[in-house]
Amino acid sequence: MGIRIGVLALQGNVSEHIRAFERALDALSLKGEVIPLRNAEDIPRCDAIAIPGGESTTISRLISKNRMREPLKSFHGGIFATCAGMVLVASEVDDSRVEPLGLMDITVARNAFGRQRDSCEMPIVLEGDREPFPGYFIRAPVVESVGPAATVICRADHVVGAVQGKHMALSFHPELGGDLRLHIRFLRNLIEA
């Protein structure tokens, strides 16, 4: 059957993440499926989960409402978190309305890039890669501090990406461009772990 990737389908760029992971699986010649994830009981059946961007306070409430909080916290696979997803996987967030999952040893500031009108595209420096990565920032968070369990992988004036074990958190939207390097890096790390 291969790798099963669930994209949390509560809010955000669900279809874009599905397409990007399908293309990344193809690029690596891996068998697998990418599905929208709507039910808590489907979480343990996945090898990886993508938590897309959206509005972090809303997604936090919907995770609780749909009884997904504990299954996500105890999930043994990899989590690929973008934008609001980064806020949700953090151990600490600068907004008490968000109940983070505490999956990564990072402290995150929500909306650090400003309001919707301040959205932008800027090149990102990826650790271990000479080629800049196109970063799409939409009301994006930044990592304020990285604990010893996590490692910085992306910078753009601020820390905008980190990994910890099988998890990857990014403050931007890699699913919006055609560059699959981070999706591929996540999948390779998942397989090696």
Catalytically annotated residues: 83, 173, 175
Do residues 164 and 2 lie in contact, with contact meaning Cβ atoms separated by under 8 Å? no
179 alpha-carbon distance from chain centroid: 15
Q: How far apart are CA 168 and CA 33, in angstroms?
A: 19
CA atoms within 13 A on the CB side of 8: 32
117/43 Cα distance (integer angstroms):
35
